[in-house]
Structure 1
Amino acid sequence: MDRSYVVTGGGRGIGRAVVERLLGGADTVVAIEFDPAALDWVDRHPAGDRVRAVVGDAADETVAERAADLAESAGRLTGWVNNAAVFRDASVHSTRTAEVVDLIGANLNPAVVGCATAIRRFLAAGTGGAVVNVSSHQARRAVPGCTPYVTAKAAIEGLTRALAVEYGPHGIRVNAVAPGSVVTERHQRFLAGQSPEAVARIEAELSQLHPLGRPARTAEVAAAVAHLLSDDASFITGVTLPVDGGRTVLALDPEG
């Protein structure tokens, strides 16, 4: 039977790379994206109607349900990837508490809604399924000024473990990937606004932070996501897999 997947934040960056990877398996993928312009490639994609788009907020249950309906109309809903994220810095000393809480929710709520929608569909179908949440190395190694993002990603990893335990008996697996730095469109736009000297410094620092000597490519993160969704990972659940080139295990020697 044909399989289908839903990927939130599927228009750009890691999300689009996941969509492309899953389309390579001849399955159908529904991409949820808040920004319609990020989905302008869908209509001309060589996969044709195997790639479908839903414009809207991934934290909106009606949007998630619409995506699930589209996916199930094409085949058995097999996997759901919660990738949608908001990148906005804030510190508690300079930002209203309510705004900090709202920013935490902006990153956490789409994952909760996505997990809930997928699990309800898996339970109704009685077929099991897999969810992959996209976390970040920042869930364990915080970057100053990023309190809402760090907090939300740590919560997503807790959510991953809790749901894996609760729904494992139903054949539902829930895992997460935690990328380090990734070369996305956002990263490239950031570099484009820097001087050549600043770009060289940033790239040297990123090389030093990753034992493999560079940031990840989006396709490398997508490959890890696809593996966790696949039958090859049928006995893996409740884990957060670092896809960070060794960044979270690196301890820089101050005497080095």
Structure 2
Amino acid sequence: MARSYVVTGGGRGVGRAVVERLLDDGGCVVAFERDPAALDWAGDHPAGARLRAVAGDASREADAERAADAAQEAGPLAGWVNNAAVFRDAAVHTATAREVLDLVALNLDPAMVGCAVAVRRFLAAGTGGAIVNVSSHQARRAVPGCLPYVTAKAAVEGMTRAMAVDYGPRGIRVNAVALGSIATERYADFLDGQGPDAAARIEREMARLHPVGRVGSAAEVAGAIAHLLSADAGFINGATVPVDGGRSVLAHDPEEHGPQA
């Protein structure tokens, strides 16, 4: 029987790419998405019964349990990907601390709930399993004006390490991927709203920020996540893997100069 997986935020962008990759690898996948309209494509997917769509809020345990049930109906639960994210920010000088904390929770709660549900299911089945949390290069190198998102992603990486230590002895691996800029629908919509000249300037800046000279693709992220879920990554636990084209190791310095000829 094929192994099953849950991917939160699985209707669009990176989440959908992960769903497609796991299906291509022969798994059964639950695409778990808050917006039902984002799951319209799943109805006539060539994977047939190996793909299940569940609409719900990844931060609500009852909804996450429904997604886990759907996965286990299809096959033994082997992996859970916490990809769901919300991009809303505020500053502490213009918003209350409570408002900022609520925005932090928008990105931290779904990852915590997903980990909790997955861990409980793995322990009950006695099979072990793998969890991958989607983080960001911003967890370590903050972008100005993004305090709640940066805080949440830093917490996700700390949670990843803590859960890896707590549950590694029980056969459960927990890792994270820290993404750079990725070409998704959201990124394309952002560029479209800028006008041709501004969009070209932004793309040049993105190329400069990523040493590989471009933004990443959702398929490249999906490949890294699929590897971390696989048996080939069986000795990787508690790691945060940069999937950012080198963005996190690049330092633009006033005295920077090119490599010596």
TM-score by length of 1: 0.99
The within-5 A match list for 1:1-256 is 1-255=1-255, 256=257
**Deviation by residue 1:136-165 (Cα, 9 ceiling, x = unmatched):** 000001011110000000000000000000
Q: Distance in 2 between matches of 1:37 and 1:137?
A: 29
**Deviation by residue 1:88-129 (Cα, 9 ceiling, x = unmatched):** 121111122211111100100000000000000000010100
Deviation at 1:192?
A: 0.5
| Unaligned residue ranges in structure 2 (runs of 5+) | none
Deviation at 1:253?
A: 3.0
Moved more, 210-219 or 87-96: 87-96
**Matched AA of 2:251:** A
**Matched AA of 1:177:** V
Q: Secondary structure at the match of 1:189?
A: helix
Q: Distance in 2 between matches of 1:31 and 1:195?
A: 33
**Deviation by residue 1:199-228 (Cα, 9 ceiling, x = unmatched):** 111001000000000010000001000000
**Matched AA of 2:76:** R
Deviation at 1:254?
A: 1.4
Deviation at 1:75?
A: 0.6
Q: Secondary structure at the match of 1:23?
A: helix
Q: Distance in 1 between matches of 2:100 and 2:50?
A: 39
The size of the alignment, in residue pairs, is 256
Q: Distance in 2 between matches of 1:193 and 1:44?
A: 31
Q: Secondary structure at the match of 2:159?
A: helix
Deviation at 1:26?
A: 1.6
**Deviation by residue 1:38-60 (Cα, 9 ceiling, x = unmatched):** 11100011111111111110011
Q: Distance in 2 between matches of 1:13 and 1:91?
A: 27
Q: Distance in 2 between matches of 1:169 and 1:75?
A: 24
Q: Secondary structure at the match of 1:40?
A: helix
Q: Secondary structure at the match of 1:160?
A: helix
Q: Distance in 1 between matches of 2:95 and 2:196?
A: 32
Q: Distance in 2 between matches of 1:195 and 1:110?
A: 34
Q: Distance in 1 between matches of 2:6 and 2:245?
A: 27
Deviation at 1:166?
A: 0.4
Q: Distance in 1 between matches of 2:253 and 2:143?
A: 19
Q: Distance in 1 between matches of 2:100 and 2:15?
A: 25
TM-score by length of 2: 0.97
Q: Secondary structure at the match of 1:46?
A: coil
Q: Distance in 1 between matches of 2:96 and 2:38?
A: 31
**Deviation by residue 1:154-191 (Cα, 9 ceiling, x = unmatched):** 00000000000000111100000001000110010010
Runs of 4+ in 1 over 3 A off after TM superposition: none
Q: Secondary structure at the match of 1:163?
A: helix
**Matched AA of 1:45:** H
Instruction: Report the aligned-residue RMSD.
Output: 0.7
Q: Distance in 2 between matches of 1:112 and 1:253?
A: 37
